[in-house]
Amino acid sequence: MVKKQKIVVIGAGPVGSLAALYAASRGNDVEIYELRGDLRDPSTTPLNFTKSINLALSERGLNAMRHAGQPKLIDHVKAATIPMRGRMIHGKKPNGQLYEEAQDYDIHGRAILAIDRGGLNKRLLDILEEMPNVTFFFNHKLTGADFNKNKAWFEVKDGTSSGEKGQRAREIEIDFNFMIGADGAHSAVRYHLMKYTRMDYEQQYIDTLWCEFQIQPKENPEDDSLMSKFRISPNHLHIWPGKKFMFIAIPSDDGTFTCTLFAPAEFYTFLESDPSGAHIPDFFDTYFPGVTDLIPPRPIDLLLSLQPPPPPHQHQMQALPLQFLGRYRDAAHAMVPFYGQGMNAGLEDVRILFDILDKHARMDEETVDHDPASARERALDEYSRVRVQDAHAINDLALQNYVEMRASVLSLSYRFRKWLEEQ
């Protein structure tokens, strides 16, 4: 029987929420500390980061949820998804005609799922809310941690949602047996952990910025079915490859598409070159043919609203493969979003972490002196050995997939067309 421990999770995003679910279903006392207010409260100010409205959920993430000890979780989650069975490449023929080319992901028809990130997060929070051994602490920002004494400090903003001005802050101190850092790309847990262990840390910015658009649903008074609302195929991840640029669209279960433009930083110089924005539709028609018809009013206003250009570190993607040395372990790793695996890999981290913790806890049960702390230490050693390589691999794949999506898909299509011409 595993001894009851106080497990503190920092960050109530999708990954922190799943980690809390795993910890709580093992009978531990779980406390979740979240910088922002409750996501389910409409007055909570979302992070900039959460601008990405929907994302691709794959088997990696689903499998982690399947093992969370909540049989209905998968059904609930899947019910709010749209299967994307392949990618749809958009382009223009030499004669100016628009074309679409569907490329299936799997010969057996298996699909990745488009899901609303906020909806998934809320579902996980709802389940946690019903568990008697889970306590939420919203508007609590981790400001310090001592991993020798197992103490942590938080800045608490009472009574208001995070981000509001004029709120009074106080500090609290807590203790814990085990802290899980799920506080995102700029993890404060990782920052404090680095003071207690010899931990290599690497961060690379890539020269890409992103911003989001929406394709609105079609109005059709004679047919109010969901399928009639989509302006382009709902069962594909749409890509307009622009070689140096890329525009993508992912379906949502209300008939809209969330679109993301990825472009190098020099794009902002181009935006500034004509403050009227008159050159932007031409740019879109050249690189992303057909998009301006899908996003009325034309994307000029949205793009112009991004000016002046953000300072170098805002809106940029980070890749920070980590290496782990010493007594404490850190699983936090951010990655570029081009492989659609950031959240999926984070959810998988949780499954693997708890598999290994369980294994060492069982081995500890068989010893005379039960010592959950040293069993956990051995588990974290193993976790680091197993997971660091995985984190590096998925980061590399994600970076490679950016080239694949914005350029290589074109050469594939081109090769395919050539082959057809030769038949």
Q: Which residues bind ligand FAD (CB under 6 A)?
A: 10-16, 33-36, 47, 49, 52, 55-56, 141-142, 182-184, 188, 210, 260, 337, 340-344, 346
- What is each CA distance from 374 to 19, 152, 189, in whole angstroms? 21, 20, 21
Residue 137: CB minimum distance to ligand FAD, A: 9
127 or 361: whose CB is closer to ligand FAD?
Answer: 127
Q: Which residue is nearest to ligand FAD (CB)?
A: 13
Residue 270: CB minimum distance to ligand FAD, A: 21
Do 207 and 336 touch, CB atoms closer than 8 A?
no
28 or 341: whose CB is closer to ligand FAD?
Answer: 341
155 or 285: whose CB is closer to ligand FAD?
Answer: 155
Three-state SS across the chain? Answer: CCCCCEEEEECCCHHHHHHHHHHHHCCCEEEEECCCCCCCCCCCCCCHHHHCCEEEECHHHHHHHHCCCCHHHHHHHHHCEEEECEEEEEEECCCCCEEEEEEECCCCCCCEEEEEHHHHHHHHHHHHHCCCCEEEECCEEEEEEECCCCEEEEEEECCCCCCCCCCCEEEEEEECCEEEECCCCCCHHHHHHCCCCCCCECCEEEEEEEEEEEECCCCCCCCCCCHHHCCCCCCEEEEEEECCEEEEEEECCCCCEEEEEEECCCHHHHHHCCCCCCCHHHHHHHHCCCHHHHCCCCCHHHHHCCCCCCCCCCCEEEECCECCCCCCCCCCCCCCHHHCCHHHHHHHHHHHHHHHHHHHHHHHHCCCCCCHHHHHHHHHHHHHHHHHHHHHHHHHHHHHHHHHHHHHHHHHHHHHHHHHHHC
Residue 233: CB minimum distance to ligand FAD, A: 18
Residue 42: CB minimum distance to ligand FAD, A: 16
280 or 405: whose CB is closer to ligand FAD?
Answer: 405
285 or 390: whose CB is closer to ligand FAD?
Answer: 390
Residue 306: CB minimum distance to ligand FAD, A: 15
141 or 157: whose CB is closer to ligand FAD?
Answer: 141
250 or 380: whose CB is closer to ligand FAD?
Answer: 250
12 or 65: whose CB is closer to ligand FAD?
Answer: 12
Residue 104: CB minimum distance to ligand FAD, A: 18
CA distance 322 to 332: 8
Residue 368: CB minimum distance to ligand FAD, A: 39
CA angle, 249 as apex, 316 and 241 as ends, to 5°?
Answer: 75
181 or 372: whose CB is closer to ligand FAD?
Answer: 181
List CB contacts of 158: < 8 A, sequence separation 6 or more: 139, 167, 168, 170
289 or 337: whose CB is closer to ligand FAD?
Answer: 337
Residue 157: CB minimum distance to ligand FAD, A: 11
Residue 360: CB minimum distance to ligand FAD, A: 24
Residue 63: CB minimum distance to ligand FAD, A: 13
